[in-house]
Homo-oligomer: A and B are copies of this chain.
Amino acid sequence: MKLLFDNASQLVTCAGAPRARRGEEARQMEVLTDAALVTKGERILAVGPRDALRAAHPDAQPIDCGGRVLMPGLVDSHTHGIFGKPRHEEQELRAAGVGYMEIAKRGGGIHSSVRDLRARSEDELLALALPRLRRLMAHGTTTLEVKSGYGLTLEDELKSLRVIRRLQRALPIRLVPTFLGAHEIPLEYRAAPRTRDEYIALLVDEMLPRVAAEGLAVFGLQLKLHADELETAGAAELAAEIGAVSADHLAAVSDLGIKALAASKTVATLLPGTMLFLGRPRQAPARALLDAGAAVALASDFNPGTSPTVNFPLVLTLAVSQLHLSVSEAILAATVNGAAAVGLAADTGQLSAGYSADLALFDIEDVRELPYWYGDHRCHATWVRGAPALLTS
């Protein structure tokens, strides 16, 4: 079946080569007016002048965009969407001056999510995750990376990844599962009789083969790194050296790390919501990364401890106001480059013929309104692989 998306105020294509966008090219998202888009089944068939497409595809069913902005569905390439209870009490502790490490020492932080997740069944975790991922979807995301990493035992990591697999069946968006058994060394491997090395061995010898055998993850097998989040550790350089698909966080990346990323194929994924929520003044040096020529992606980092937001457009606001990206750079970072950060640059994140028909329709007249009306909910509808995924009444 063919659909003709017509009557958008703007059609933002983000079109370009099927790879991460960097440098000058990355500054242009391409905004078409008087344009239309035709899909056939799961794919985009054509993008071009409205009149020409109407004439060429009289058999296509028209979809009236109602003067809204049509653009690629957002690609959120970094979330920790599988968790139990929210951790709002830590937000207040932080506000009162208690630090991240101190909260962790008190048994809070990531270890409280680990304890909590281990105690829950797969069904419980699914029931908790479903409405949370629906909220993420509601803001225009059509591709969502989701990590395990609050289990930290073979069974609990498999449980988390199975929840992601069941979410993929239940939800109309594309999920990209990441095995993050290396999220943290669990407490039971931090003191005798067990050692950290034993946990690493468990990861490598047991967990990874099992995850691979069951086909439960895309990443963890391919590489994504949490890099230089709070302290400079040379992780960006490492990510570039080993050819990681992305290096994420980067608030504390060094100048050498910036150069290494700019010279590599590794996408620099920035998570400004996290720094906002943590109340930290230091944001990743986004302009330095862009100006050096690195490919920059943005993501929500949705997680219970440091970034419980489902509002990806708000992250675009922060990209402009805190990271000094142009709107075009921010939009590309949340579409094309998000797709590159999950290895899908040839499949989604842009409105080009042959790409997956992953679309978002926002209730604004100008794409620049998306980061502008900050904290608002402007997504009107999304389509994933040509099928309606969301329609706001």
CB of A321 within 8 Å of the partner chain: yes
CB of A353 within 8 Å of the partner chain: no
Within 8 Å by CB of A309, from B277, B279, B376, lies: B376
- Cβ–Cβ contact A320 & B92, under 8 A: yes
Which of A194-202, A255-263, A310-318, A340-348 binds B?
A: A310-318
User: Nearest residue in B to A139 (C-beta to C-beta)?
Assistant: B375
CB of A89 within 8 Å of the partner chain: yes
Using known A-B contacts A88-B366, A89-B368, A279-B324, determine if residue A309 contacts B374 with beta carbons closer than 8 Å.
yes
Residues of A near any B CB (own CB < 8 A):
86, 88-89, 91-92, 94-97, 135, 273, 276-279, 281, 308-311, 314, 317, 320-322, 324-327, 366, 368-369, 371-377, 393
Q: How far is the CB of A163 from chain B (nearest CB, A)?
A: 20
Within 8 Å by CB of A308, from B86, B91, B374, lies: B374
Q: How far is the CB of A363 from chain B (nearest CB, A)?
A: 10
User: Nearest residue in B to A323 (C-beta to C-beta)?
Assistant: B95
- Cβ–Cβ contact A373 & B281, under 8 A: no
- Cβ–Cβ contact A375 & B311, under 8 A: yes
- Cβ–Cβ contact B311 & A376, under 8 A: yes
Tell me which residues across on chain B come within 8 A of A327, comparing CB atoms.
Answer: 88, 91-92
- Cβ–Cβ contact B321 & A373, under 8 A: no
Tell me which residues across on chain B come within 8 A of A321, comparing CB atoms.
Answer: 91, 94-95, 276-279
Complex CA gap A281/B376 in Å reads 22
Tell me which residues across on chain B come within 8 A of A279, comparing CB atoms.
Answer: 321-322, 324
User: Nearest residue in B to A135 (C-beta to C-beta)?
Assistant: B376
Q: How far is the CB of A81 from chain B (nearest CB, A)?
A: 13
- Cβ–Cβ contact B281 & A92, under 8 A: no
Q: How far is the CB of A56 from chain B (nearest CB, A)?
A: 34
Within 8 Å by CB of A375, from B86, B89, B375, B393, lies: B375
